[in-house]
Structure 1
């Protein structure tokens, strides 16, 4: 199968197994906003942010390193080398993580430390097992694990929150059980245990993987200050109820991220496979890919903004209605997040992880300064302003840094047109009726179909022929 056909197939599988399951989770918002208060949901979101911070530092993003080095080998026995070493690093990190959660939770007087500990471990194990499966081409098993795990989590959420009327801590229990099911399904399909061969332990490869993964970990820590740090500031300087509103608004922002997740996963595999190409081929490939992705993402974000205005009162309970004007900013911030991740995957492919932290660090500094400076003036909106500016700086820095290694040309005409479109959509969202927003959404969708008419036709032909 050629690169495009394989890419479309992979994207379709991830769409079914990952994005659609997460969309189902998104549809749980009516449940959360009906049975939980903004304060309860704000606490859940805040403690999740703390766990994410610890995991981003301690686990070194080792799953990404395992996947990248598996692509350097051909046979299963050779691929077992990075898997075995990755498991050693993962196990060591888990021990340190457990101690950190107990210590940090005690100092911060955080409840449910045992649940938070299990939540972080299962969440990271899902990543570890999933990346190994993807490196083996076990995309269907990967998708099935995500689908079944998510369905179980959702059903348990309904049982605990709506039926039994339990507290928000039961959200962690539901997600942990879903994660465990996901791990069992994906791990069994990928035959993970067959890839753990201790005689393959290679100290030289261990050092190489640590050198590869350590910058990713540092980058993840900086990335936390670009995303989750704002939740801590809102909770401390405003209230956890305000953080609950911010979290719900960002659930809509995550829709942009979810719809690109399948693309990113398939793209990462295709991108890694281009690592050995000559510079001219890589320049052309990444220029085309970046410009198309930028345009597609931007148009998609504008469509979602218009749709959110229509569906918000249907989806969200009355206690969270103040989150509605926060949504466009959250969507814009998520857009820049996705673009920066796309550029970051290119850096990972050419093994320039050391410059990842530099670009993320710039964005993190911008975000931290702006959120603390603007929070008193603009309240919750300051978080999205700071986040958008921070990730925009990351994108600019990564484009400039990549130009040292690849000649990626940006089509500025589209950027200008899309900026104008964004201004129009924001003005209509904040000032016009839901009916007008619906009309605008239909207009943008029509324009999108016209722009991508050839790609849609070619894609359908490929799928039907396959």
Structure 2
């Protein structure tokens, strides 16, 4: 990919990703004033459960259609891919809903119907959004993400502030927003015109599943790393602690979205290349990515206390402590995702699965060992350990096969320095000291990334 094209795609994704996440972020302080920690914790648990079930029900077909359509040139073949993936997806959803309703006969739950509809729409929306991206409509992909978040924000404000719907407003806003966006995507991508039941092809479905099914346990492994903590907190601590941790995990989304902007653009091009034969020459670019990640994470870490202090209700102020460690976890998550693009390029879904599964198991074991002593901090530290293992496994595989070199000593040193800084911030809890660290980290960020900032300014400012 040329630098110009990569920057262009990065900016396209920036608009939708930053916009949608910014809108979602605006909802965080609003929720803390209208929902108590218990309700917020309950909703977060149910959304976490949706994250667990979605890849199982969908077979991760969105990843298959993206890969297969991007490599396909013939319109007829593309229509066959779309038709077969939709047939399979809807059959899977129908089967799951039947099983789900049978279970509800024996185990009743207050929010069952809301949860069920949220799950279905949360499967269909990213599927059709990914289809738009696969067809090359990056602008639709990004704009629809922004629209989805905006509708959720507006509906929540109306239902919480003016109708006092409480927890139910969160479900209704998600359902309404997803359904509106699904309809827009269906018509704008011409799915109705392309869909044909007669295109059913057993061999094509097998090929789609052959690629996507190994990604299902991979997603479950990521769930173990990112989301299983919520249930462990409920088991060993309390639903109120879940509410606190829910807020802690919202702010690192800022760094996640910045990373995802680059990864989306990076993935678009790298998945079109045939192999990793030139990987030995890409270490320098990855080294710059490491510098950017750690310097930006340090800046957000030093800002963490004030971010929470000025944006949420006072009951949630302690959320900043776990939040700082979560930023470090996000760094290793992004480094792992970067290397994961190379694994996807050579169709090494088994290696993706192995690395993610190992990381997921380590996270659960770490939290189980330390949650009674460290509370929610054990979950945040577990994310660092598990994502580092995930990154290290993928690095070893690529280095062994392609001589892809990474400066591990620098990574370990930077991680150690940042964790020491976090420990000082928690121990001293002095605002003047924190302001000094914010100033210092901002200077470090601009010095370390001076070259990238200059390129951006010259080209776009």
Which has the higher mean CA deviation after the structures are superposed, 403-412 or 172-181? 403-412
Which has the higher mean CA deviation after the structures are superposed, 191-200 or 252-261? 191-200
Alpha-carbon displacement from aligned partner over 1:257-313 (angstroms, at most 9, x marks no partner): 122121221121122122x2561x24323x244323222222211111112222211
Q: Is the 8 A contact 2:276 2:346 kept in 1?
A: no
Correspondence for 2:153: 154
Distance 1:100 1:234 in 2: 28
Q: Which of 295, 308, 311 is 2:291 aligned to?
A: 295
Correspondence for 1:378: 374
Structural mapping, 1:158-173, within 5 Å: 158-173=157-172
Kindly state the Cα deviation for residue 226 of structure 1 after the two structures are TM-superposed.
1.6
Kindly state the Cα deviation for residue 183 of structure 1 after the two structures are TM-superposed.
2.1
Distance 1:68 1:333 in 2: 28
Correspondence for 2:326: 330
Q: Which of 341, 344, 347 is 1:345 aligned to?
A: 341
Kindly state the Cα deviation for residue 222 of structure 1 after the two structures are TM-superposed.
2.0
Whether 2:115 is the aligned partner of 1:116: answer yes
Structural mapping, 1:263-278, within 5 Å: 263-274=262-273, 276-277=274-275
Alpha-carbon displacement from aligned partner over 1:341-369 (angstroms, at most 9, x marks no partner): 22222211110001111111111221121
- Unaligned 5+ runs, structure 1: none
Correspondence for 1:39: 38
Distance 1:435 1:107, change over 3 A: farther
Correspondence for 2:52: 53
Distance 1:58 1:424, change over 3 A: same
Moved >4 Å (runs of 4+): 103-109
Distance 1:237 1:65 in 2: 38
TM, length-normalised to structure 2: 0.93
Structural mapping, 1:157-306, within 5 Å: 157-274=156-273, 276-277=274-275, 279=277, 281-285=278-282, 287-306=283-302
Correspondence for 1:92: 91
Distance 1:419 1:135, change over 3 A: same
Distance 1:139 1:437, change over 3 A: same
Kindly state the Cα deviation for residue 197 of structure 1 after the two structures are TM-superposed.
3.6
Kindly state the Cα deviation for residue 406 of structure 1 after the two structures are TM-superposed.
2.8
Size of the aligned set, in residue pairs, is 460
Q: Is the 8 A contact 2:20 2:149 kept in 1?
A: yes
Correspondence for 1:354: 350
Which has the higher mean CA deviation after the structures are superposed, 322-331 or 136-145? 322-331
Structural mapping, 1:397-408, within 5 Å: 397-408=393-404
Kindly state the Cα deviation for residue 7 of structure 1 after the two structures are TM-superposed.
1.4
Kindly state the Cα deviation for residue 219 of structure 1 after the two structures are TM-superposed.
0.9
Distance 2:56 2:400 in 1: 28
Q: Which of 452, 455, 462 is 2:452 aligned to?
A: 455
Q: Is the 8 A contact 1:297 1:335 kept in 2?
A: yes
- Unaligned 5+ runs, structure 2: none
Distance 2:389 2:13 in 1: 29
Which has the higher mean CA deviation after the structures are superposed, 130-139 or 433-442? 433-442
TM, length-normalised to structure 1: 0.93
Distance 2:459 2:326 in 1: 35
Q: Secondary structure at the match of 2:380?
A: helix
Q: Secondary structure at the match of 1:137?
A: coil
Whether 2:76 is the aligned partner of 1:80: answer no
Distance 1:108 1:269, change over 3 A: farther
Q: Is the 8 A contact 2:9 2:265 kept in 1?
A: yes
Alpha-carbon displacement from aligned partner over 1:184-240 (angstroms, at most 9, x marks no partner): 333333323333244443322221211110100111122222222111111122111
Q: Secondary structure at the match of 1:27?
A: helix
